[in-house]
Amino acid sequence: MATGRTHRPATRSRGIPEATVARLPLYLRALTALSERSVPTVSSEELAAAAGVNSAKLRKDFSYLGSYGTRGVGYDVEYLVYQISRELGLTQDWPVVIVGIGNLGAALANYGGFASRGFRVAALIDADPALSGRMVAGLPVRHTDELEAIVADNQVSIGVIATPAGAAQEVCDRLVAAGVTSILNFAPTVLAVPDGVDVRKVDLSIELQILAFHEQRKAGEELDGAVAATRRPLPKADGAPAARPAGDERPGPDGDLPAVMPA
């Protein structure tokens, strides 16, 4: 068995909190964009804004890396790119298998960002015999019967599941039994894994539902604001009581009903 399966980024042994680990890719993305523009240094405020966090949290996160920047100068962009890449384990090669080569799996296979970030798609696997041998992103699709051999031959420690929900748990079990210890799950189901196996779930429908919730809330706030605007008292003229909107049946100052009645 390959030793690559037991590798873990140094973040855990160094005691970096999981919340900080989750933000490191955000910083790396922002830093990479700065590097591509040949920006040599960046302040904590500028980098925090680019990553979508506050600067105090960014400085705290970087303190776990032993990086504190230079007062009046900021952080060295290239050094931070290297430092975060090293902490995330991106300075080494990570062979990945994608299981489930439907529309989503094929799109993942064609994604060019994997290679530039240290991930090599070693094999594409699908249960459909009709797909076997078909070329996708320059790789032949292989049948699930070969899964265990593929994992062993390519020293795979990371598996990507893009199968239908009903097949995901079985695929997960086989990957784990073969030695895979990290799984990125795109199937719309929750996977059960033993201790020592990490699962990250990506559910696009859930993300859309969360966005729908926020859209509904914003629409409700706008409606509440519009209703509140119609209830504001009109300015008084020459000390006279303010006129009220049509349909207001509350008694006037002398107890009488307003002259304007609802239709």
**How does pLDDT run across 240-252, given as a tens digit for each residue?**
555 555 555 555 5
Q: In the chain, how many domains are there?
A: 2
The answer to whether 102 and 84 are in contact (CB under 8 A) is no
In the structure, what pLDDT confidence band is assigned to residue 257 with cuts at 50, 70 and 90?
very low
Residue 73 has pLDDT above 50, yes or no: yes
Range of the domain at 133: 94-206
Contact between 200 and 172 under an 8 Å Cβ cutoff? The reply is no
Q: Which of 12-21, 79-88, 150-159, 198-207 has the lowest mean pLDDT?
A: 12-21
DSSP secondary structure letter of residue 179: T
Contact 120, 184 (CB under 8 A): no
Does 104 show up as a binding residue in the annotation? yes
Judge if 109 and 202 occupy the same domain.
Answer: yes
Residue 192 or residue 223, greater confidence: 192
Query: Is 149 part of a structural domain of the chain?
Result: yes
Name the helix (H) or strand (E) containing 136: strand 135-136
Based on the fold, state whether residues 82 and 32 are members of the same structural domain.
yes
Q: State the pLDDT at residue 250.
A: 52
How would residue 103 be classed by pLDDT, with cut points 50, 70 and 90?
Answer: very high
Task: Provide mean pLDDT across the span 111-132.
Answer: 91
The response to whether 191 counts as a known ligand-binding position is: no
Q: Is 101 annotated as a binding residue?
A: yes
Alpha-carbon distance 185 to 162, whole Å?
7
- Tell whether pTM > 0.75: no
Q: Are residues 141 and 184 in the same domain?
A: yes
Q: Are residues 82 and 101 in the same domain?
A: no
- pLDDT of amino acid 245: 53
212 within some domain: no
Does residue 116 sit in the same domain as residue 70? no
206 in a known ligand binding site: no
- Phi and psi at 199, nearest 5°, equal -125, 130
Angstrom distance (rounded) from CA 246 to CA 93: 73
**247 among the known binding-site residues?**
no
Considering only CA atoms, which of 2, 260, 21, 45 is closest in space to residue 152? 2
Confidence of residue 6 (pLDDT cuts 50, 70, 90): very low
| Residues 107, 39 share a domain | no
Band (pLDDT 50/70/90 cuts) for residue 236 is low
